[in-house]
Amino acid sequence: MIALVALTGLGLGAGAVANQLAGAHPWAERERGSAQRAVPGPWLEVLGAALFAVVLLRFGLTAQLPAWLVFVSAGLVLAVIDLRAKLLPNRVLLPATLAVLVLLTVAAAVDDAWPDLLRAALAGAVSFGVGLVLALISPSGLGMGDVKLAALLGLVLGWLGWPVVLLGFLVGFLLQAVLGLALLAVRRAGRSTELPFGPALLAGALVAAVLSGEWIGLDPLF
């Protein structure tokens, strides 16, 4: 219970930082002035707290938990920036991917889970390759930011297994399709409207991750 309260508070902080970072983007143009919050109200902070709690309940106090917390924190920033600017900045994507890889390497060393790490790295590379091919075939549907995000998603989902990788991307594409159809139905978008893909991919990955196994963090609570 103490860990749950502490991680929820940490998630509030992660949401607040994500709000400030996303509100200050593009960062090079905001150095002279004060940054504004990207999302008014406490919604992003509450979402950060909820996601941190969910991740803790899913993975428990395990060696892999820090990697998932970094993934969620970076995902908040990336999703909000993509929604606002249709962009997934390298200054978030690349450090997040490297940090997750390092933390999963530490988890593999602690738990002797080297096969899981190898599968994660391979899944990240395969996801990047597939995304790159799709981007070359249809540049209007998938940008290079989405391709780099696919590598990060493949990395974290690959740690859990190939079926989770497939499920994560499937859910992400499904969410994007449902959103596109809904916007078409209410005439908020046309057939040629480009929609940010990052939030749907991130949501799909997180849904697949939290539903792919037992919620071991619940055990200490009951």
CA distance 100 to 159: 11
pLDDT at 189: 66
Q: Which amino acid is at 38?
A: A
pLDDT at 36: 82
Low-confidence ranges of the chain (pLDDT < 50): none
pLDDT at 115: 97
CA distance 138 to 199: 19
Domain ranges in the chain are 2-221
CB under 8 Å to 147, separation ≥6 — which residues? 128, 131, 132, 134, 135
10-66 pLDDT, tens digit each: 999 999 999 999 998 887 655 555 568 888 889 999 999 999 999 999 999 999 999
pLDDT at 219: 78
> In whole angstroms, how far apart are CA 126 and each of 97, 98, 154, 155, 179?
15, 17, 8, 9, 26
CA distance 79 to 143: 15
CA distance 79 to 71: 12
CB 79 within 8 A of CB 202: yes
Question: Crossing angle, helix 198-211 and helix 144-158, to 10 degrees?
Answer: 10
> In whole angstroms, how far apart are CA 1 and each of 11, 72, 189, 217?
15, 21, 45, 10
Cα torsion 186, 192, 196, 197 to 10°: value is 100
Residue 192 sits at φ, ψ, to 5 deg, of -95, 0
